[in-house]
Amino acid sequence: MQDRILNKARELMFQAGVKHVTMDDLATQLGISKKTIYQYFKDKDALVSSVVEFELANHALLCNQSTQAADNAVHEIFLLMSVIQEMFNRMNPLLYLRLKNIILWLLIKLKNTRRILFFL
């Protein structure tokens, strides 16, 4: 059941974006109660974390497979580019914007942290 929930959450989050997927939506799509979801995931943050961990592990596996299948370094680069392109093709375009905003926020935070450390 946990895998079913995780896979459906992944699918919905890639389609609509994390922010737009509710636990109600997920329960309805799966034909189960929210209580069942909460038996496996403490809250939405825990579910999102599980989805991200799954995706990172999956991409690492695909990258390793590409590396092993490559005939040479150039072939490896092309195989890895195909993996990355497939990943982005599955994403909702709104996710790009959200990622861009998160990255900008992190860069600003990092820059401010460096200033604070410099003055210490």
CB crowding 48-66: b at 16 or more within 10 Å, else e = bebbeeeeeeeeeebeeeb
Q: CATH number, domain at 87?
A: 1.10.357.10
Domain range for 31:
2-91
Other beta carbons less than 10 A from residue 43's beta carbon? 11
* One-letter identity of residue 38: Y
Structural domain contains residue 73: yes
Domain count for the chain: 1
Structural domain contains residue 114: no
Q: Taking a C-beta distance cutoff of 8 angstroms, is the pair 94, 17 a contact?
A: yes
Structural domain contains residue 101: no
pLDDT of residue 117 exceeding 80, the answer is: no
pLDDT-derived band at 6 (thresholds 50, 70, 90) equals very high
DSSP label of 31: T
- What's the pTM value of the predicted model, to 2 decimals? 0.66
pLDDT in tens, 62-93: 888 888 998 999 998 898 888 888 877 777 67
Structural domain contains residue 120: no
Structural domain contains residue 53: yes
Structural domain contains residue 13: yes
Structural domain contains residue 56: yes
pLDDT-derived band at 119 (thresholds 50, 70, 90) equals low
